[in-house]
Structure formats: C-alpha cells, structure tokens
Structure 1
Amino acid sequence: MEWRDRATDLPPPKSAACLTGAPGRSDTLPGALLLSPRFRRFLSYYRPYTRILTTDLLCAVFVAGITVLLPLLAGDLTRQVLNAGAEDVRPRLAWTGGLMVGLVALYALCNAYVDFHGHLMGARMEADLRRDLFAHLQRLNFGFYDRQRTGALMSRLTNDLFDVSELYHHGPEDLTIALVKGIGVFAILSSIDLRLTLLVFAFLPIMAAFALYSSRRMNAALSLSRERVGSVNTQVEDTLSGIRVVQSFTGEATEQARFDHENRRFVESRRAGYRSEAVFSQGMTAFTQLMSVAVIVGGGLAIAGNSLRPDGLVTFLLCLGVLVDPVNRFVNIARLYGEGATGFARFLEIMEVTPEIADAPDALEIGRARGEIEFRDVSFRYGPESEAVLEGLNLQIRPGEFVALVGPSGVGKTTLCALIPRFYDVQAGAVMLDGHDVRTLSLASLRAQIGMVQQEVYLFAGTVAQNIEYGRPGASREEVVDAAKRAGAHDFISALPQGYDTEIGQRGVRLSGGQRQRLSIARVFLKDPPVLIFDEATSALDNESERAVQSALEGWIGQRTLLVIAHRLSTVRHAQRILVLTEAGLSEQGTHEELMARGGVYARLHGLQLSL
C-alpha cells in the first residue's frame, strides 16, 4: 500500500507564511552563497573565535609543512647512504633522524590541537547557530507553525547545523593544509625533475574535474536524503505524539505502514548517494594508482637516461603519497561546502523569515491594564484563499466584565480571543486594549496583560511546581500552592508521590486530562493578569473541580476582565453578558435570563442541551 507523504516542509515565500525554495531545499546553493551577502553572515560566526581559529590555522601550517619536509629528509638520508661510507654517514643519520623525531613530535602536538580545539570550535559555532535559530523560531507567530511540521524544523536544528559546523571547522583547516602541501610538494619535486613533476601534476586537473562532478552528484543525493530524513522525523514525531490515539484505535499497523513508506523513501535517496560515493572513492583510488605507475615508469626512464638519481625517485614516491592528500582534502572541502552551504542556506531560509507579527518601531510599553477590550469593525481570515472567520465585528467589553462566548463550533469564538494577544493580526479594523490598538503595543507588555487557558492543554516535562511557576517565574511555593487551591488542584497534587515536586512526564502524560487542565488553570491564576481568557477550560473537569474554578472566577468579577468560551451553557449562566456567535456573526447578547426570554439562538441551544 502506498501512502502519500504527510510531511510538509517550508513553503515558498519569504515571510512567516512562506520561504524560498522547494520543500527541504534552497535555491541559493552552494556556489551562489560565496557571491552573496550571506557569505559575510557566514563568516560572522567566526568572530568570537578569531584567536582559536588563528592558532588552529597556524598549527595546520606546521602539520602540512612537516608532512612535506619528512619525505625531503628521507630522500636526503637515502642520498647520504648511497654516496657515503657507513662510518661517515652515521653522525649525519643520527642528526637527521633526531630532527625527524622532533618534527614528528611537533606534528603530533599541532595535530592534537587542530583535532581537539578545532572540533570544539566547530561545536561551539554549531551551538551559536542553534541558539540563534531557536530564538528566532520562538519569535515566529502562530501562522508560521500552522503550516509547518515539527519534525522538519527539528531536522534543520540538528542535521543541517551539524553539517554547517563541519564546514566551519574542517573547511579552513583542509584548505590551509591542502595549499601548503600542494605548493610545497610542487616546489620540492620540480627542483628534482621538472618534467616528471609536470607529468604527475597533469593528473590533478582531471582528478579535480572528476571530483567536482562526483561531488555535485553526491550533494544532490544528500539534499534529497536530508529532505527524506525530515519526513521520517515528522512521521515519528506525529505517531509518538499521538501514541495514545494510535493504540486506542489499534492503528499500529497503519502507522507502521506510513513509517515504512517514509523509511523506504529515505533508503532510496541514500542509494543514489552511496552509488555516487562509491564511484568517487574508486575513481580517486584508480587515479592515485595511475599516478604511481606513471612515476615509477617515468622515473625509471629518467634514471636510465641519467637525468634522475635513485634518491630522487624515492623522494618522488614518498611525495606522491603526500600529493594525494591535498587532492582528497580539496574534494573533502567541496563535499563539506556542498553539505555546509546547503545547511547554512536552509538555516538562513528560516532566519530570514520576517515574523508576520512583531513590535512596531515605536511600540508602547504599558503597565497593568484596566482590561477594556474593543473590536472595531474587525474582519479576519486565516489566509488569502480562506473564507472570512469574522466579518465587520464590533464589540466592547468593559473592564472587569465577565463575558461568555457561546455558539456552534467553527464560528470564530477561539479566533476572536486569539486576536486579543495578537496571535494573529486582523485584516481590517482594530482590536483595542484600554483604548490602544494592540498593534501599537509591544508584544511582551501586551501578552503580560492576558492569561489564556485553552482546551488543549500543554504541560512541559518537569515537576508540578515548575509547570505552575511557568505562569510567574520566581513565585514562592506559598503562591504556587495558593494558585493550585483556587484551581481545585491542591488535593490531587498533595496525593502525588512527591507532591508539588512530582515529575509529570512530557506533556504531563502521568496525569489525567482533568488534572492537566487544573494545572493549566493554576498556572494562569498564578500569572494573575488583568484579562483572563478561558477557552473550554473547564470541559475536562469533574463537577466539584468545575465549581471550585467557577467560584474563583466569580470572585474576580469586577477585578479582572473574564472571557469564557463554553459549549456547556450551564457553566456560563452566571456571566454578566453572554455573546452568541453564529456564522452570521454576533447574533445575540445579554444575560442568561434575557436571552432565554428572547427565545432565539441561545434559547434553542440551551433547550437542546437540556434534552440530551
């Protein structure tokens, strides 16, 4: 059975709604990166590590220089042995041998520095990239995440940035070593026999062309593989996040089939990569062997013609091994550049997304709000092609008023509340808080005024207390306990093995749905904002807990502005004003008694619930 790919990566435009390039790829790869302003940004991540980088490259020069000097010294030793007697050569052999041992020791020290500090520098730069990307992701608005999959974004935070760090670390080192070795070997060999040197170096352009061709094929396969592994991550995240639903519906076979489909697509993408790598590896091996054959044959002819001494041939053969290393390093640089530039371009794709919702340049900071909310001719839709959710809505909520929103599903109740903290921006009209258009307020100060409890609760891995303290970091244990009591959560928390210090697992999986809901309510009670929004927040509570929460809310009437979305009308009958939303907009408003007497939509909804 074939399954369609459910993973969606980043869409095309360069905004929170869309990004450049095809899913999982970039149109600015990799050659264009060197010619673009992005390259300056790439280099900017070296700035905090300039001293380490300088020392690292200096050590790389020593490593390459010593590698070139050792064959030269070996050739010199051979010449001494051939041209001098045993007694005469011993002091010179001892001196040269000691020098070579010293160089080997220096080589080991420099190589150790390059290996350790270079890798550590790369890891730190990867951490810097990940820090910046994570911070930027937190600034992107709900609309961005409505269109993305967590698995695909996780792939960018992990796999892509590891490839970038490899380029940061190995790129300069390999380039330095390759240049020093290549130039040094050419200088040494040309001083011995220029014609044989030119014969050897004639192989290099062919090897380079072959390597670049193979590198392009490997990079294309790698890009596809990276896209496919993002799809695998997305599938795994999707299934494991919903494992309770999977098992309750015995959907294991379905999920396994979907995973197997994505896994097969990943393996197919790797097949092309491994084929390219095999062709490259064996091709380079064949070129190296051909170079050795050419040196042996050419060197033998040169010795026969008395234009080359045997010690020169020894130096040639030893240097040949050194010469292959720069070629391999240049190829490795091409590979690292392909992978790293791809990863960095994908990193920039997200970093260059401008949040659709951000602070205005002259955004206002407000203190504690009074809680007056007004919708002025508000219209909103989720996308250009979507139907309008709200159209020309006008509504005013007084400070401290308890307002309930009721109506059928899908008429915009949750959307209306999401517009107040600017989780989305209106397309027309304005949402006002204390007479200020919310778009003129800083997001931090605006959202500090608002506490939301949603039907879909999210708790973080950690303890009960830590999840409640999220409402106000630094709150005392007494304040945490008081908030839990007002949310009707204290009794069940006290019964947990470690009480408030009990670990609740990722997303609070060790708690029941009602317990998770009560913790989320306690969290917003601890925040104590002037505006409280409850979106079906008591639907998962038992009657006793619901009454405790309602009592706490009613105690805040006049002190906090309360907006409560409810399908269960019995929970909002004591609201000071009930707003009835339908597909036609705001159809009715009034108290429970007024709306029942009117006999309209609310009365019919109430009657339907009583009949169930």
Structure 2
Amino acid sequence: MGKQRTRISGSDPDAQKAENADAPRIPDLLARIAQLFQPHRRALAVTAVLAIISAGLSVLPPLLTRQAFDVGLFPASGRPDVPVLLEIVGLMIVIYVSSAGLGVWQTFLTATVGNRVMGALRVRLFGHLQKMELAFFTRTKTGIIQSRLQNDVGGVSSVLTNTVASVLGNTVTVAAAFVSMLVLSWQLTIVAVILMPILVIAQRRVGRVRAKIATKTQESLSDMTAITQETLSVSGILLAKSFNQQGTEVARYSDENDNQIRLQVREQMSGQWFFAMVQIFLAIIPAVIYICAAWLLFQNVAVTAGTIVAFTTVQARLMWPLLGLMRVALDLQTSQALFARIFEYLDLHPAISDAPNAHPVDPARLGRVEFDDVVFAYPDSGDGTPPTLKGVSFTIEPGQFAAFVGPSGAGKTTVSYLIPRFHEVTGGRILFAGDDVRQLEQDSLVANIGIVSQETYLFHATIAENLRYAKPGATDAELQQAARAANIHDTIASFPLGYDTVVGERGYRLSGGEKQRIAIARVLLKDPRVLILDEATSALDSLSERIVQDALDTASAGRTTIAIAHRLSTIVSADVIFVVDAGRIVEHGTHAELTAQGGVYARLYAQQVSQI
C-alpha cells in the first residue's frame, strides 16, 4: 500500500475510544497514578516526612512574630526586652535555615522519584507497544505513536515530579496556618476564609476548560510529530524534493504550528483570570483584617498589635500553599487528557499473543510448513471486502526451496507474514514443525525463521552493529564468516573503516545491492532453519541481482526456503512453485511442469522472457 500524503486527523483508530469518551474521574486517575509510585515507597515516605516538617516549621515564624511584638518590642513594662527579642530572632533564623535545607533535600527526592516514575512509564509504554501486532502499526502513524511516548509522557512530568510533595507540604501548611489563625483570632479567621468556597467552584470550572484544551493540544502535537517523522525522514525528503513540494510541506507544518501556538496560548490563559482573582482576594484580605480588627476593638474585644501582625503574616503565608494546591488540582484536571491517552495505549491488548498452553517449537520437526485451508482478511479491510487469502492449502517439506509467484496483489506477501504469525489467520490453520502456530511460543517461532524483504531496513549505525542485531554476542570472526557467505565481506573490507563504517539513515550511504547483502549476512548470522525471501531482488539492477542471488543461493542451502518472487528467472530451480492468483493457489509444480501446463505461470514466464 502506498503512503498517504493527504492531511488526516492526528488521532489513530485505537485512540478514538479514549478521546471520544468522557475523561476519567479524578479519584480513578489518582489511583492509577499512585500505582506508578509503588516502587518508590521509601523515598516517598522520607519526602512526606520532610514535607510535613517543612510545613510545620513554616507556620512558626508568624507566631514568633507575635511574641517579638508583644514580648520583645512592646512588653507590658514599656521598654523592649532585648535578650528575649534576640532569642526569638535567633530561633526564627534557625527555622528559616532549616526550612531551606529541608526544601533542597525534598526537591532532590521529588525530582529523582518523579523522573524515575516518568522514565519507567515511558519504558513500560514502549515495551507494551513492542508487543502489539503488526496490524496496529500499519493503521497508526508512526509520528502519533512517537507523540504518545514523548509529548504525552513528557506532558505529565510536572504532575509526576511535583504532585506528591506539593500536595503533602501545602496541605500541612494550609492546615497548620488555619489552626494558627484560629488560635490567634477565630473572628478574623471567619473573615479570611468566607469566600474560599467560591474559589473552589471557580477552580473546578477552569480545570474542565483546560482539560478540553489540553486534549486538542496533544492532538495537534501528534499531528506535528507525524508531519516531522514523515517529511524529515530520508524517504520523505527525497519525495518532497522529487516533486518540488518542500514549500507545501513547510506550509503544512506552519499551519499546524500556528494551531499549536493558539492552543498553547488558550491553555495558559484559561486559568490566569482565576489565579489573578485569587491573588487579588488574598492581597486585600490584610486590609479587610485591619478594618475588622478596628471593629473588634470598638466592640471591646481584646486584639493586640502583635496578634494583628501575626495574623496577617500567617494569612500571607497561606497564600502560596493555597495557590499551590489549586494549581495541583488544575494540573491534575488538565493532565486527565494526557493520562487518558497514555493509559489507553497501556490498556490495549495485543491481538496476537501466546496461548496459555503455548510451547516451544519441536526442534526434531523443524523445517516443515503447512497451510491448511487458510483464510485471511486484513483487520482494517472493511465489511464487504473479499479476504486476501481464500482457502489456501499447501505443504513445504524440510529443506525444500518453495517459490510463490503471481500477479501483484494476489496475496504472496501475505503468505510470508502469516508464517511467523505477524498476522492471525481468519480461518483454517498454519502448521510449523507440525504444530499450529497459535499453540507455539512466539519467541520460539520467530527464532527459527529468518526474513529478507525487498525493503531492507538498516539502523543509522555501523555495519558491525547492524549485523549484531541478529546475534548481539557475535564475534568479529562470525561477522566476517556471515559476510563472506553473503558476498559482501570484500566490499566491506574496501571501506576505510571496514565493519565500523556508519551506513547512514536506513542505510542510504550504501547501494541497494550492498544493503541487501548486509541484510542477508544478518540473517545468516541468526542461522534460522526456515528462510523467507520476500522479493529480495526485485528492486535491484541485473548485476546486483546476480550477486545477491548468489548470496541467497548460499543462504538457502540446507534450509527450508520460501521465496516470494517477482522475477521468475530467480526461482526456475525451485523444488516447488506455487502460483497465487486472487488469493488462491491455482497451480503448483516445478518450473518444467508449470510451463508445460500452459497456465497462469506459463503466461507470466513468457511475458517476462519477452521483455528481456
């Protein structure tokens, strides 16, 4: 299938459920977030103790301030008591220094725990995606998957790193400050907190608005990541340059970037009026306190100057913890969209997984491959679309070289994907070494199969590193042996850096034939008993094809080999040739037998011979 270059939504089909459903409730969200912190219970316990101590210490200075006024500066004797004042000031300095030191320690612990939790979440999500079936990746943009790992997990980093300490510390501070205010004057406390319920209601409404904007923001980020991944890859750049569409791609990225800017501004501004209102409210409280204190004095209620100063100091210290709690609540509401997207992927169940009673491949029967009335339709093919394979049956004996040929779109490559169970059959069964592949352990099944495809994928790494992907512990001698068998050792040795040569993105520093032979060497290093060649030479020129074909002949010796062939000249010596047409095996036999029959194969072969 060709790549779609049209503009589509950043939401993949599997994400629709999460993005269309109602956002999860805060308690449920907190429960799932709390599970992420389970491995760090000890560090969290220390953090909690530090937060409580810091919060407790933070409310002592205002109380000491009242003592400084009423006992040190303006005692009943009328003259300042300097020794007492020095003791109070010294104690206040000790408290400030201790609080600062505890704050640094607490910040280190929360940053360490939060980033480790975020890192573990990212690895957990990456590992879960590795288990997903191939169909998931064929229907989902790579950029969108990358966005889940980078943008979504990164977007909740502040919640993961700051939530625990902020909630504990600020809650204790607010509670202690409230108690201190009650001790100082319960009448003034009523005045100070009377409008708090209104702020809580406003905060919840702001949170819901920000959560909706956050969802749209992440969708836009997914689109931007997808555009970047598509257009800045080597293939994307070549396509854009070939059709002179660089300006179009820049415009497409610019449009989405403008959309992202608008959403970011909306998200940041959506709560500013609320926090401005809170700050104004908390800022004018001292002035109101002074008026109320004067009224209390007129009512003959004993209120000292130290009490008024201490009360306004406590109230001022209440401002930032209270704002902190409200910001955490807003962040949690805003992060619902991000956590929903992350947990939605984590909650996906791979369509293909090991059965409860799965067992390893029987090594004594390795090499035999059998299709028994196999029917297959791609999951996203849609209702009414005929299946790709319709009742396909064949048997390949150990050590045989079997070729599959036929018109484009007949289902040949699908056969090669079903053997290692990259897709699940819709009907019938596939037997590998005598067992249904659905009853085999996937790792064991794939370990015995090697695949060389038409589109060779090499990492942006050295040749040696690309080869060792098949066998991480391979020695240099093993690499060279595999490379010689693939007819590529001499070419590698001619490079200035030899096996340490970096191949470039997707191997673009190498020719097509060189890439293909390195891929063959990689498979030979794996040494599988069953080898699948999916049109491995169809994109090569005649000279490269002959060189690669020699390497393939060496690779297939002594193995069961299944070749998906476009050029029939490469499989004329096959032990058996299966002709696939419209999802069915219409002919099978040797090259001589099929050409003598004068059927589909004979016509295809005659057409190719006439074009030479």
- TM normalised by structure 2 equals 0.93
* 1:423 CA displacement: 0.2
**1:487–1:545: 8 Å Cα contact kept in structure 2?**
no
**Structure 1 match to 2:587:** 588
Is 2:62 the partner of 1:66?
no
Q: Specify whether residues 371 and 52 from structure 1 end up closer, same or farther in structure 2 by C-alpha distance, changes over 3 A only.
A: same
- Secondary structure (helix, strand or coil) at the match of 1:334 reads helix
* 1:442 CA displacement: 0.3
Which of 19, 27, 45 is 1:34 aligned to?
27
**Structure 1 match to 2:8:** 6
Cα deviation, 1:505-535, whole Å, max 9, x if unaligned, reads: 3322322333222211111111111110011
Cα deviation, 1:100-132, whole Å, max 9, x if unaligned, reads: 111111101110011111111100111111121
**Structure 1 match to 2:150:** 158
Which shows bigger deviation, 130-139 or 251-260?
A: 251-260
Mapped to 2, the partners of 1:208 and 1:555 lie a distance apart of 74
**1:399–1:561: 8 Å Cα contact kept in structure 2?**
yes
* 1:303 CA displacement: 4.2
**1:303–1:309: 8 Å Cα contact kept in structure 2?**
no
* 1:272 CA displacement: 2.5
Q: Specify whether residues 408 and 394 from structure 1 end up closer, same or farther in structure 2 by C-alpha distance, changes over 3 A only.
A: same
Mapped to 1, the partners of 2:406 and 2:413 lie a distance apart of 11
**1:7–1:234: 8 Å Cα contact kept in structure 2?**
no
> Which residue identity lines up with residue 379 of structure 1 in the other structure?
V
- Secondary structure (helix, strand or coil) at the match of 2:183 reads helix
Long gaps (5+) in structure 2: none
Mapped to 1, the partners of 2:155 and 2:41 lie a distance apart of 21
* 1:8 CA displacement: 4.0
**Structure 2 match to 1:562:** 561
Q: Specify whether residues 270 and 4 from structure 1 end up closer, same or farther in structure 2 by C-alpha distance, changes over 3 A only.
A: farther
**Structure 1 match to 2:39:** 48
* 1:84 CA displacement: 5.3
**Structure 2 match to 1:467:** 466
Count of residues in correspondence between the two structures:
599
Mapped to 1, the partners of 2:318 and 2:417 lie a distance apart of 65
* 1:197 CA displacement: 0.8
**Structure 2 match to 1:291:** 285
Mapped to 2, the partners of 1:509 and 1:336 lie a distance apart of 45
Which of 14, 17, 20 is 1:21 aligned to?
17
Q: Specify whether residues 44 and 434 from structure 1 end up closer, same or farther in structure 2 by C-alpha distance, changes over 3 A only.
A: same
Which shows bigger deviation, 547-556 or 125-134?
A: 547-556
**Structure 1 match to 2:316:** 321
Q: Specify whether residues 165 and 584 from structure 1 end up closer, same or farther in structure 2 by C-alpha distance, changes over 3 A only.
A: closer
**1:419–1:426: 8 Å Cα contact kept in structure 2?**
yes
**1:371–1:561: 8 Å Cα contact kept in structure 2?**
yes
> Which residue identity lines up with residue 269 of structure 1 in the other structure?
L
> Which residue identity lines up with residue 178 of structure 1 in the other structure?
N
**Structure 1 match to 2:410:** 411
Mapped to 2, the partners of 1:513 and 1:141 lie a distance apart of 29
Is 2:116 the partner of 1:121?
no
Which of 212, 223, 235 is 1:231 aligned to?
223
Q: Specify whether residues 305 and 452 from structure 1 end up closer, same or farther in structure 2 by C-alpha distance, changes over 3 A only.
A: same
Mapped to 2, the partners of 1:296 and 1:499 lie a distance apart of 83
**1:19–1:353: 8 Å Cα contact kept in structure 2?**
no
**2:517–2:551: 8 Å Cα contact kept in structure 1?**
no
* 1:299 CA displacement: 2.7
Q: Specify whether residues 142 and 538 from structure 1 end up closer, same or farther in structure 2 by C-alpha distance, changes over 3 A only.
A: same
Which shows bigger deviation, 130-139 or 146-155?
A: 146-155
Is 2:387 the partner of 1:374?
no
Which shows bigger deviation, 336-345 or 589-598?
A: 336-345
- Secondary structure (helix, strand or coil) at the match of 2:59 reads helix
Mapped to 2, the partners of 1:96 and 1:26 lie a distance apart of 60
Query: Post-superposition, which runs of at least 4 consecutive aligned residues in structure 1 deviate over 6 A?
Result: none
Which shows bigger deviation, 38-47 or 584-593?
A: 38-47
Which of 213, 216, 222 is 2:214 aligned to?
222
Which shows bigger deviation, 158-167 or 58-67?
A: 158-167
- Secondary structure (helix, strand or coil) at the match of 2:74 reads helix
Mapped to 2, the partners of 1:558 and 1:326 lie a distance apart of 74
How do 1:98-497 residues align onto structure 2 when only pairs under 5 Å count? 98-241=90-233, 242-307=236-301, 308-368=303-363, 369-383=365-379, 385=383, 386-497=385-496
* 1:342 CA displacement: 3.3
Which shows bigger deviation, 295-304 or 61-70?
A: 295-304
Q: Specify whether residues 286 and 30 from structure 1 end up closer, same or farther in structure 2 by C-alpha distance, changes over 3 A only.
A: farther
Which shows bigger deviation, 303-312 or 69-78?
A: 303-312
Mapped to 1, the partners of 2:470 and 2:546 lie a distance apart of 22
**Structure 2 match to 1:579:** 578
Mapped to 2, the partners of 1:4 and 1:409 lie a distance apart of 24
Q: Specify whether residues 68 and 105 from structure 1 end up closer, same or farther in structure 2 by C-alpha distance, changes over 3 A only.
A: same
Q: Specify whether residues 60 and 584 from structure 1 end up closer, same or farther in structure 2 by C-alpha distance, changes over 3 A only.
A: closer
- Secondary structure (helix, strand or coil) at the match of 1:537 reads coil
Which shows bigger deviation, 267-276 or 522-531?
A: 267-276
Cα deviation, 1:123-162, whole Å, max 9, x if unaligned, reads: 0111111121111111111011112112222222123223
Q: Specify whether residues 215 and 339 from structure 1 end up closer, same or farther in structure 2 by C-alpha distance, changes over 3 A only.
A: closer
Long gaps (5+) in structure 1: 12-17
- Secondary structure (helix, strand or coil) at the match of 2:606 reads helix
- Secondary structure (helix, strand or coil) at the match of 2:602 reads helix
Q: Specify whether residues 427 and 39 from structure 1 end up closer, same or farther in structure 2 by C-alpha distance, changes over 3 A only.
A: farther
- Secondary structure (helix, strand or coil) at the match of 1:393 reads strand
Mapped to 2, the partners of 1:458 and 1:552 lie a distance apart of 18
Mapped to 2, the partners of 1:513 and 1:558 lie a distance apart of 23
> Which residue identity lines up with residue 239 of structure 2 in the other structure?
V
Mapped to 2, the partners of 1:151 and 1:298 lie a distance apart of 60
- Secondary structure (helix, strand or coil) at the match of 1:173 reads helix
> Which residue identity lines up with residue 95 of structure 2 in the other structure?
L
- Secondary structure (helix, strand or coil) at the match of 2:577 reads strand
**1:150–1:234: 8 Å Cα contact kept in structure 2?**
yes
Which shows bigger deviation, 439-448 or 235-244?
A: 235-244
Cα deviation, 1:249-293, whole Å, max 9, x if unaligned, reads: 212022122212322322232242133133223222222233233
* 1:172 CA displacement: 2.1
Mapped to 2, the partners of 1:326 and 1:584 lie a distance apart of 68
Q: Specify whether residues 479 and 83 from structure 1 end up closer, same or farther in structure 2 by C-alpha distance, changes over 3 A only.
A: same
**2:371–2:392: 8 Å Cα contact kept in structure 1?**
yes
* 1:438 CA displacement: 0.6
Cα deviation, 1:67-113, whole Å, max 9, x if unaligned, reads: 11111111221122122568751111111111111111110111001
- Secondary structure (helix, strand or coil) at the match of 1:189 reads helix
Q: How many percent identity over aligned positions?
A: 35
**2:70–2:306: 8 Å Cα contact kept in structure 1?**
yes
**1:214–1:279: 8 Å Cα contact kept in structure 2?**
no
* 1:357 CA displacement: 0.5
**1:486–1:548: 8 Å Cα contact kept in structure 2?**
no
What is the alpha-carbon root mean square deviation over aligned residues?
Answer: 2.1
Is 2:68 the partner of 1:77?
yes
Mapped to 2, the partners of 1:267 and 1:603 lie a distance apart of 61
**1:367–1:445: 8 Å Cα contact kept in structure 2?**
no
Mapped to 1, the partners of 2:238 and 2:127 lie a distance apart of 31
Which shows bigger deviation, 434-443 or 62-71?
A: 62-71
Q: Specify whether residues 515 and 293 from structure 1 end up closer, same or farther in structure 2 by C-alpha distance, changes over 3 A only.
A: farther
Mapped to 1, the partners of 2:543 and 2:511 lie a distance apart of 16
- Secondary structure (helix, strand or coil) at the match of 2:374 reads strand
